[in-house]
Amino acid sequence: MDRLTGQSKLACDDIGTGEPALLLLPGWCADRGIFVALANQLGKKRRVINVDLLGHNESARPDGDFGSEDVIHEALKLVDSLGINEFVTVSVAHAGWLAVELRRRLVNRIPKMVFLDWIIIEPPQVFFEILEKIQQPAQWQSARDALFAAWSLGDPNLAKPFQEFMTNYGFDMWSRAGREIGRSYREFGSALRVLETLNPAPTVLNLYSPTQAKNLYAQDDDSSYFEAQQSFALNHPWFHFRRLSSKSHLPSVEVPGEVADAIESFIAKS
């Protein structure tokens, strides 16, 4: 069912039944279309809420500027308006910051969290340079296109989802994305560090594409990225991670079956 709820300004697809439900969160400058194939698979076994963020696609557009706090506020209203008690967040990349803040406020309703291709350790300086460029009127388009090329490894087929779901936004939204993402990383340093602040800790699964890890850190393999997560997991038994076979930055589009299986297996474990 596709709707814009009366209580919330977020448009969503609401499919399937059963809790814990899954709340699918695309990142800034992305539509909920990146989750359609995954949502359809997951919806066979449980309730799935696939949303457009505030100001995106079919969701309401604020008259003025807005930020992460506004998105979180609307997401809180959405889950209440839909009568969802217990749910698991599934977030793409930097939408992980939104998921973390939802967990802070709904600590007893979000027992588990799934992250897809989030930069889980402290990002390199080049990442912050890109975020700065997409906040500049003269550079944002070239910076965005460079991101698309990196995320798709220059493969036209892998690039199609980025063109389809992420090119409908102009400078205002991309610059907002750069501002909000940069603010989160500067405040907390890394995703692993912010997860440590959640008390009690949720059970976490990080699903990532090894190729993306290699590209981000300009390395021949993803060994250091893997080892950082492995070390963290040894000291934090609630943290789990898994490499995916995907090459692009959108595993939910490229390998939805693999992602769905990993999520279902994760949720099924006590």
pLDDT at 1: 39
Q: Could you report the per-residue pLDDT of 179-236, keeping only the tens digit for each?
A: 999 999 999 989 999 999 999 999 999 999 987 666 666 566 678 888 999 999 999 9
pTM summary value: 0.94
Q: Is 77 part of a structural domain of the chain?
A: yes
CATH number, domain containing residue 89: 3.40.50.1820
Domain count of the fold of the chain: 1
Q: Where are the alpha helices (DSSP H) in the chain?
A: 36-42, 68-81, 95-105, 125-133, 140-151, 156-166, 171-188, 191-195, 210-216, 223-235, 251-254, 256-268
Domain span holding position 13: 2-123+189-268
Residue type, 227: E
Has residue 153 been placed in a domain? no
Please check whether residue 30 is in contact with residue 148, taking contact to mean a CB–CB distance below 8 angstroms.
Answer: no
